[in-house]
Amino acid sequence: MLLSLIYAFALFSAVFSSPTSLLFSPTSAKRSDLSYEPPAARGLTNAVRLARGYPLKAPVRRSDTARRGVPSSVPSGSYNPSRPARGYLQFTTSGGQSAGFIGTQTNQNGDFLLATGNSDKLLVEIDLMKAKSGPTTITTVNGGTSVSYVAGIVGSTSASNNLSQGSFSYFYFGGSSDQSGAYLETSIFAYSATDNSITVQWANSDGSTAETFIGLTSQGAFGTGDRNACEQEFGTVTWVTLSFVPQ
């Protein structure tokens, strides 16, 4: 009996005085290893995020309420807004010649490239009634899962987010998953039924609206508030107008 007690005591002491480490061993994480999304990244497509070093945006599951047969919250007989019109966005030179359409493909920065043919033209929707009374959004139909809106995205070498006379600041036509962001605008497109033209009404930080001019690059298009200042900075530009071509 005494030997048994001595053995048990020795075993107990060996277990609780052992230097063996615990199973739970937390490790510290470097700040550079943590995912951080600055406000400027919100609303940008994953292509733009990759180009600018931001983390990719997680996919958002679309609501399937309608498929489940859940009754609509809108009572029958209530006012329904006009149905958006579908069509394409075309650039035209001062001589009236077509300079191409906005395409579905984007470059590494997420800026829309010009369409190479009918098969890759970007199909969009716009509420023409709203656009005739003021700037509104243009949504995409075949722009991909991460591109919901046509947006003006401030250029990486732009002097500021504002457009004005005397400044070469500019934006590119690109795609956005959200309606707003620190370096993009979407509710900027106004429509004229007279000639189907689309003008861009850029909202500056002081609340003013800038007159914009659209120019072509080798692959896409951009907008600026001063043509002369832009050409002095970047060289000769082919200036065009934008119009809506119904499907």
Domain ranges of the chain: 85-246
Q: Which residue has the higher pLDDT, 225 or 41?
A: 225
Quick one: tokens of 158? Answer: 């732009």
pLDDT digits (tens, 9 = 90+) for 164-184: 999 999 999 999 998 888 899
85-246 is classed in which CATH architecture?
Trefoil (2.80)
The single-letter code of the amino acid at 122 is: L
Residue 178: predicted pLDDT: 86
CB 109 within 8 A of CB 47: yes
> What's the whole-number mean pLDDT along residues 28-41?
38
What does the pLDDT average to over 217-222?
92
Of 42-46, 59-63, 136-140, 217-221, which has the strongest mean pLDDT? 136-140
Residue with tokens 């000639």: 195
pTM above 0.85, yes or no: no
Average pLDDT, the chain: 79
Rounded distance between C-alpha atoms, residue 70 and residue 218, angstroms: 49
Residue 225's contacts (CB-CB under 8 Å, 6 or more residues apart) are: 162, 163, 164, 165, 167, 169, 202, 210, 211, 212, 213
Question: Averaged over 190-198, what is the pLDDT?
Answer: 97
pLDDT band at 145 (very low <50, low <70, confident <90, very high): confident
**What does the alpha-carbon distance between residue 218 and residue 161 come to, in Å, rounded to a whole number?**
23
DSSP 8-state symbol, 193:
T
pLDDT at residue number 63: 40
Token pair belonging to 109: 């920065």
137-165: average pLDDT: 93
Question: What is the pLDDT averaged over residues 211-228?
Answer: 95
Residue 57 pLDDT: 60
pLDDT in tens, 132-143: 999 999 999 999
